[in-house]
Amino acid sequence: MTIELTIFRTGAVKLARSNFTPWLAAPGRDELVECPVWSALLRTPEGLIVFDTGLHPVHVERPEATFGANPSMVITMTGEDAIVGRLAAVGVTPDDVTVVVNSHLHFDHAGNNRAFPKATFIVQGEHLAYAKGRPNFPAIYWDDPALRYMPASGRARVATGIEVVPTPGHAPGHQSLVVDLAETGRVVLCGDAAFTRANLERGEIPGEDPVAGTESLALIRSLVRDDLERAFPSHDPTTFRPGTYH
Ligand SMILES: [Zn+2]
């Protein structure tokens, strides 16, 4: 049995293009676009792995539930986006999942961590320390003593053919997931190290540390040998390709 990767939508956010690609000129930069939020399921000989847990379904009825009403960033999540339902549709319950990897702990990447009480969570130790207690990493979604976090330190094996690689810039200790697929080849689930394909093409991304962000984009490009079809950015409405990969 080899690795099977399934990518599915776990929410969406409407925001101005300039949030991700600030170099755009007007009027394109101000255009509001609906950007996907997604998660991935990896079926492996060593068990089921989930990458990022998406937005919490509280946002279906109350888009402003976490950060209040903000006309420049509107959550447009549907009931179908809830991760538990998405997993059920492919025959998986949260308790079947042995490992969850969070790229980082923002609410659109760790929103459903508490749905996986049986899993081991792999997050960079540096990121865990950074996120703890910060209001822009709302604790309600992830900081639960019932959850078992295993802090990683740098590049680390998750399973055969799957490893986390630090890709800081968006936040300290941000990480991406590198997966070696039998047919597709090596893919990188970027997390917010790359919001869009354009970030990878240009080698530029806004974030807490833009210099580190540029280095991380170069690392991702080298990991996929510049075949950007094999790098999956976090929120790109144009290149988002839900589906199953082998
Ligand atoms: Zn994000």
Distance 195 CA to ligand 1 centre (A): 7
Residues 6+ apart with CB under 8 A from 231: 187, 188, 190, 194, 197, 200, 220, 221, 223, 224
The predicted-structure confidence for 146-170, as pLDDT tens digits, reads as follows: 999 999 999 999 999 999 999 999 9
- Segment 193-209 shows an average pLDDT of 97
What pLDDT does 225 receive? 98
Distance 191 CA to ligand 1 centre (A): 7
What pLDDT does 74 receive? 94
Residues 6+ apart with CB under 8 A from 25: none
Q: Say if residues 106 and 113 touch (Cβ distance below 8 Å).
A: no
SS3 labels along 4-67: EEEEEEEEEEEEEHHHCCCCCCCCHHHCEEEEEEEEEEEEECCEEEEECCCCCCHHHHCCCCCC
What pLDDT does 26 receive? 86
What pLDDT does 27 receive? 85
Asked if pLDDT for residue 1 goes beyond 90, the answer is no
Q: How confident is the model at residue 48 (pLDDT cuts 50, 70, 90)?
A: very high
Q: How confident is the model at residue 70 (pLDDT cuts 50, 70, 90)?
A: confident
Pairing between β-strand 148-152 and β-strand 120-124 as defined by DSSP bridges: parallel
Distance 185 CA to ligand 1 centre (A): 25
Nearest-angstrom CA–CA distance, 214 and 23: 14
CA-based nearest residue to 101, from 161, 163, 18, 44:
163
What pLDDT does 200 receive? 98
Q: Amino acid letter at 46?
A: E
Tell which CATH architecture fits domain 4-241. Answer: 4-Layer Sandwich (3.60)
Distance 43 CA to ligand 1 centre (A): 23
Distance 233 CA to ligand 1 centre (A): 10
What pLDDT does 72 receive? 83
Mean of the per-residue pLDDT values for the chain? 96
- Segment 82-94 shows an average pLDDT of 98
Asked if pLDDT for residue 28 goes beyond 90, the answer is no
Q: Which residues surround ligand 1, an ion (CB under 5 A)?
A: 108, 192, 234
Q: How confident is the model at residue 214 (pLDDT cuts 50, 70, 90)?
A: very high
Distance 241 CA to ligand 1 centre (A): 16
Q: How confident is the model at residue 237 (pLDDT cuts 50, 70, 90)?
A: very high
Asked if pLDDT for residue 201 goes beyond 80, the answer is yes
Query: Residue 246 half-sphere exposure, CB side, CA atoms within 13 Å?
Result: 3
172 φψ region: left (φ > 0), alpha (ψ -120 to 50), beta (else): beta
Asked if pLDDT for residue 130 goes beyond 90, the answer is yes
Cα–Cα distance list, 98 to 17, 50, 95, 153, 177 (Å): 36, 8, 8, 20, 16
What pLDDT does 54 receive? 98
Distance 1 CA to ligand 1 centre (A): 31
Distance 211 CA to ligand 1 centre (A): 19
pTM over 0.75: yes
What pLDDT does 2 receive? 92
What pLDDT does 171 receive? 97
